[in-house]
Amino acid sequence: MTEQIPFAAVEFAANPEPRCACVLLLDTSASMSGARISELQEGLSVLKAELSQDLLARKRVELAIVSFGGSVRMLSEFTTVDQFEPPILHADGLTPLGAAVTTGLELVRNRKRVYRQNGIACYRPWVFLLTDGEPSDVWQPAAASVRHAETAREAAFFAVGVGEANLDVLGQLSVRQPLMLRGLQFRQMFQWLSTSLKSVSHSGVSDELALHNPTAPDGWAKL
Amino acid sequence: MILYSGDGKPVELGKVLGRGGEGVVHVRVGNESQACKVYAKPPTDARTAKLTWMVERLGQHPDLAVWCTWPQELLFDEQQQCVGFLMERLQQLRPIHEVYQPEQRKSVLPTAGWDFLLRAAANCARMFETLHKYDVIVGDVNERNIFVDSDATVHLVDCDSFQIRDGDQFFGTGVGVVDYTPPEMQGKDFRLVPRTVEHDRFGLAVIAFKLLMMGRHPFSGGASGDLHQAILNKEWDYPQLAQRLRHLLPWSVVGQPVRAAFVSAFTEEQRPSAATWVERLATFEATLQPCRREPLHKVPAGLGNCPWCTIEQVSGYAYFSRPQTIWQSQWQGPDALLAPLDAELQALPSPRQPEEWQAPQGMEAAIATARAMLQAERPPDLISWYLALGGGLVAVGGVTMALFHPSRGVVVAGAGVMALFASRWLSARRQVPWHQVTLEIDKQINEMREIEVEWKGEALRFRDQDRRLRAWLADMRVQVVAVGAQRQREIDKLAGDQVSEALRAGLLRFDLATASIPNVPVEKKRALAIRGVLTAADLDRAKLATIPGLAEAQVDALIAWRRGMEAQLTGSRAQGPSSAQLAAIDSNFHHLRDNLLAELRGGLGTLRDSGHLADSRMAELMAQGRQAALALQERVEAVRRAYMEH
């Protein structure tokens, strides 16, 4: 049999660094419109800018962006930071949170498979959920998937609520304690995310996450 | 800020070179080749003792600091508290991860082949060998501590984390990175378990492997994808992986002794020493030869096919640049090229103006003399005057004689009258040549006046030609300068700095006012709106360049935002121009500019020739004038001699 060459090979030949996949699940339902969506948009640029400054992180961290407002949409496929362009967000529709979480977990699972096919080492992927409302779909199966992924160390799941987000639901979705964003401190949140991703992508691959506490008095989150 | 060395000499801290978890590195004011590391928190007594030991040891073994930023002197604050140390400052070096990662290496070290990478690996081993000789263990081996110079020499930083054992004294490292940690240390607490030289040898082998095998970690590719697990379980399967993944360098390409060293380093606990690596890598490097097709493809002698060419064919990825694509723009502004031409142009004088006419030497004097002579009364003709006088006297004598001898008297008087008539006739006859003389002299004067007219006419003609040539040269010069802008436009077009027509309609939908663009605040957006920049479709560099008060970073951010929008419209990100494309643009515009410069040079030549022609023509006319003046002078002299001096 003549072996086929997967197209991805070139990207991993050019850059064989271990990868840290990170999916951002961003709530873009109608309730996010106005200041929230524009601050969030700004936050994405901050994330890129901060990660770009780190020579190793920019080759190792891969970002993908999924929005859920009305429907679940893939806004940006996995790409290393140096190639990443923040997509433009539009707030509209309901909050299909459950479907978004399932999509996010699916994405990291597929991405890990691509890594494995290409002999690329990887760090535990991150799924980072941000929402300001109540799920408008059935989210319980998604919660089960999150628990499974966490137990199998397939992904680390983080949930952050904004404004009137239902912390109860987030608490049941996430194995980790969900956090509430203070005001609209998206910028600070993404700075924290970038610092965390940087330290993950520098530490040993399996190091337990030793992150700055975002709920410190000067942090961006509250419990 | 001022700190003090051990002997109390002040050390002034300059600009910050870097910040790390432990502290800040400054340049030393007054000695740019030194840097000062200042800890954020005062170092513990143990750390101070370690640094003191290191400084003392350097005194005995100066070679410790050759390839390391080894502490050279301690630094103290006003309270005599040790707060940091002095070390060598590294400049222009690249972290090793930029060198072993293929894509980045191709851009930062485009001419580096596999031999360069082998040499860097061997130099890395040489550096470890020196340290191990003095029982110094690097401990925290990782890709951020090692720097590579453009000549493949290697330097280590963060030397204060080295592990040192000297008799009873022990100074640990306390930190480490999983990727470079051997199986027996995986999961251990680096603060509690001392490192051994074997641990360093594992880290060194990983570094060497990454340099040789195109940036791949030797244990990357394990089933779980997790390096910790893979190293711990010694899941070292590169040879198999390279059979499956055709973009990897086949294991057999690496020389057998080097292969054996890797196998032993990754699967045994007795690992090859730094000295072994030095010897084997150097021996292997000596066998490399360029492949027939690509000079940067370095292939061990005796290998049939070039493995790099094969990888390019089967995977489409080139691990090394092709020389023609090793491209760094040689484009320079036009100033250096135009300066000598400008100087030459300036040095070329314009021909003289008609008003600058100066009569040739002697001409005016000759004319004046001639005029004066012509205006004077005609000189009397002495011969006919004497004849008339004689004739008159004879006639009077003849009349008087006729009173006594009438017949004789009449004859004599008749002869006198005859003589009088003869004198009239003679006088009239001698008048004709004089008249001619005056006509001829007039003619000569006129000819001389014509020389002046002609000189002035020629001056006018040459001035006009000169003016037209200079205007043309100025126009060419403008064109030469404009080539730079044309080239930039062409590159911008390739780089998508201009809005592509196909996407314009789509881009109109993206409103600038509601977009969030880093560094572009609302006021700036208003300023843009006033000038008609309202949507993504309005964002091209040429347009933005016309808007005052827009920083370069803001222009970049706006363009980046537009390109993000384009990516959304097309679902893909436009690739930047390749170096081959850029090189082609440069070559085209070099060609164009060279042609223009050649024309400019040609024009300068024409201008110079025309100047010479003008000069010689004017000189010729002047010479003619001088000749004519001389001729006139001679003529006047001759006439004067002929008519006046009797």
Question: Residue B645: which pLDDT band, with cuts at 50, 70 and 90?
Answer: low
The pLDDT tens digits for B163-193 are 998 888 899 888 888 899 999 999 888 888 9
Report yes or no: B97 at the A interface, CB cutoff 8 Å.
Answer: yes
Q: Do B55 and B48 form a contact (C-beta atoms < 8 A)?
A: no
For residues B617 and B551, state if they share a domain. Answer: no
The pLDDT tens digits for B297-349 are 999 988 888 999 889 888 778 899 765 444 566 777 788 888 888 998 888 88
Q: What is the mean pLDDT of chain B?
A: 86
Subunit contact A203:B514, Cβ cutoff 8 A: no
The pLDDT tens digits for A178-214 are 888 888 888 888 888 888 888 877 764 344 455 667 7
pLDDT at position B37 = 94
In this structure, of A19-28, A29-38, B26-35, B539-548, the range with the lowest mean pLDDT score is B539-548
pLDDT of B150 > 60? The answer is yes
In chain A, the percentage of residues whose pLDDT exceeds 70 is 91
Subunit contact B248:A59, Cβ cutoff 8 A: no
For residues B253 and B202, state if they share a domain. Answer: yes
For residues B353 and B313, state if they share a domain. Answer: no
Show residues of chain A in contact with B315, CB under 8 Å: 5, 9-10, 13
For residues B186 and B261, state if they share a domain. Answer: yes
The residue ranking higher by pLDDT, B199 or B494, is B199
Report yes or no: B517 at the A interface, CB cutoff 8 Å.
Answer: yes
Show the domain range for B530.
Answer: 496-575
Q: Do B109 and B119 form a contact (C-beta atoms < 8 A)?
A: no
Residue B422 belongs to some domain of the structure: yes
What chain A holds in terms of domains, given with CATH numbers, is 12-203+214-222 (3.40.50.410)
Residue B454 belongs to some domain of the structure: yes
Mean pLDDT of B378-385: 72
Report yes or no: A187 at the B interface, CB cutoff 8 Å.
Answer: no
DSSP E strands in B176-308: the ranges are 288-290, 298-300
For residues B137 and B266, state if they share a domain. Answer: yes
pLDDT of B282 > 60? The answer is yes
The residue ranking higher by pLDDT, B429 or B166, is B166
Subunit contact A16:B217, Cβ cutoff 8 A: yes
Nearest partner of B155 among B79, B58, B89, B81, judged by Cα = B89
pLDDT of A6 > 60? The answer is no
Give dist(CA B198, CA B271) in Å, integer: 6
**Residue of B144, B214, B228 with shortest CB distance to A16:** B214
Q: Is the ipTM of this complex over 0.90?
A: no
Residue B164 belongs to some domain of the structure: yes
Residue B405 belongs to some domain of the structure: yes
Q: Around A183, how many Cα atoms within 13 Å sit in the side-chain half-sphere?
A: 7
Q: How far is CA A214 from CA A57, A127, A180, A192, B384, in A?
A: 21, 17, 10, 7, 139
pLDDT at position A102 = 95
For residues B10 and B113, state if they share a domain. Answer: no
Give dist(CA B590, CA A177) in Å, integer: 63
For residues B174 and B210, state if they share a domain. Answer: yes
For residues B244 and B362, state if they share a domain. Answer: no
As given in the structure block, the two tokens for residue B346 are 């300036």
List CB contacts of B52: < 8 A, sequence separation 6 or more. Answer: B74
Mean pLDDT of A58-72: 93
The pLDDT tens digits for B516-548 are 777 787 778 888 888 888 888 888 877 887 888
CA angle B198, B199, B203 (to 5 degrees): 115
For residues B480 and B610, state if they share a domain. Answer: yes
Residue B527 belongs to some domain of the structure: yes
pLDDT of A7 > 70? The answer is no
Give dist(CA B332, CA B170) in Å, integer: 57
List CB contacts of A161: < 8 A, sequence separation 6 or more. Answer: A131, A132, A167, A170, A178, A179, A180, A181
Taking CA–CA distances from B237, the nearest residue in chain A reads A119
For residues B155 and B40, state if they share a domain. Answer: no
Name residue B334's amino acid: P
How do beta strands B163-166 and B136-137 pair? antiparallel
Mean pLDDT of B126-154: 93
Task: Supply φ then ψ for residue B134, to 5 degrees.
Answer: -100, 25
Instruction: Identify the helix (H) or strand (E) that includes residue B24.
Output: strand B23-28
Subunit contact B226:A87, Cβ cutoff 8 A: no
Residue B591 belongs to some domain of the structure: no
pLDDT at position A219 = 77
The residue ranking higher by pLDDT, B254 or B512, is B254
List CB contacts of B24: < 8 A, sequence separation 6 or more. Answer: B16, B18, B37, B38, B40
CA B406 to chain centre: 121
For residue A84, is it left (φ>0), alpha (ψ between -120 and 50) or beta?
Answer: beta
Subunit contact B244:A3, Cβ cutoff 8 A: yes
Tell whether pTM > 0.80: no
CATH number at residue B515: 1.10.150
For residues B86 and B195, state if they share a domain. Answer: no
Subunit contact B515:A88, Cβ cutoff 8 A: yes
Q: How far is CA B173 from CA A83, B36, B139, B192, B195, in A?
A: 36, 20, 6, 10, 8
For residues B469 and B501, state if they share a domain. Answer: no
Helix ranges (H only) for B28-155 are: 45-60, 96-100, 102-108, 114-133
Domain boundary among B291, B321, B351: B321
Distance from CA of A115 to the nearest CA of B (A): 8
The residue assigned the tokens 């979480």 is A101
pLDDT at position B126 = 95
Give exposure, B399-428, as e/b (b: 16+ Cβ within 10 Å).
Answer: eebbeeeeeebeebbebbbebbebbeebbe
Domain boundary among B57, B73, B91: B91
> What is the tally of structural domains in chain B?
4
Residue B135 belongs to some domain of the structure: yes
The pLDDT tens digits for B437-483 are 788 888 888 888 888 899 999 999 999 999 999 999 999 999 998 88
Report yes or no: A10 at the B interface, CB cutoff 8 Å.
Answer: yes
pLDDT of B401 > 60? The answer is yes
The pLDDT tens digits for A161-178 are 998 888 899 999 998 888
Q: What is the mean pLDDT of chain A?
A: 86
In this structure, of B147-161, B215-229, B506-520, the range with the lowest mean pLDDT score is B506-520
H helices, E strands: number in chain A: 7, 7
Mutate: best of A55, A205, A206, A207, partner B, most B CBs <10 A: A205
pLDDT of A157 > 90? The answer is yes
CATH number at residue B50: 3.30.200.20
Residue B413 belongs to some domain of the structure: yes
